[in-house]
Amino acid sequence: MAKYSMIVSWSEDDNCYIVVVPDLPSCMADGKTSQVAVENAQAIISEWIETAELLGRDILKSLFNSKNFQRTKCENSPCPFSFFQQHSIFFQSFRGNISSVI
């Protein structure tokens, strides 16, 4: 199975951990513990890939990884990463309550 980065965060509103897989659109999971949330996300990643294959869609490669984090100089932030600058629209969509995205 391909390896994808995951973002794990606690949701006060949902009272559980939320996992977002940035490389796979709408690929998210949750769990009462961070470990359960990651395990659930691994299952969802497999299902996401299986569904994409059934629909004849491209399987996206992992771009959200340490190879793509390059420190850049910026006046507004002490150490931003170029990946976040290039994908700012994606991250802006998660500023609100994660429940509204699901």
Please name which of 13, 35, 27, 77 lies closest in space to residue 88, comparing C-alpha atoms.
77
Residues in the chain: 102
Q: 48 φ, ψ to 5°?
A: -60, -50
**Could you read off the pLDDT of 79-100 as tens digits, one per residue?**
444 444 444 444 444 434 333 3
Determine which helix (DSSP H) or strand (DSSP E) holds 81, and give its type and residue range. none
Query: Please, what is the average pLDDT of the chain?
Result: 75
| Whether the predicted model's global pTM rises above the 0.85 cut | no
Task: Report whether 25 contacts 51 (CB < 8 A).
Answer: no
Determine which helix (DSSP H) or strand (DSSP E) holds 9, and give its type and residue range. strand 7-11
Burial 41-70 (b: 16+ CB within 10 A, else e): bbebbeebbeeeeeeeeeebeeebeeeeee
In the predicted model, is pLDDT for residue 38 greater than 50? yes
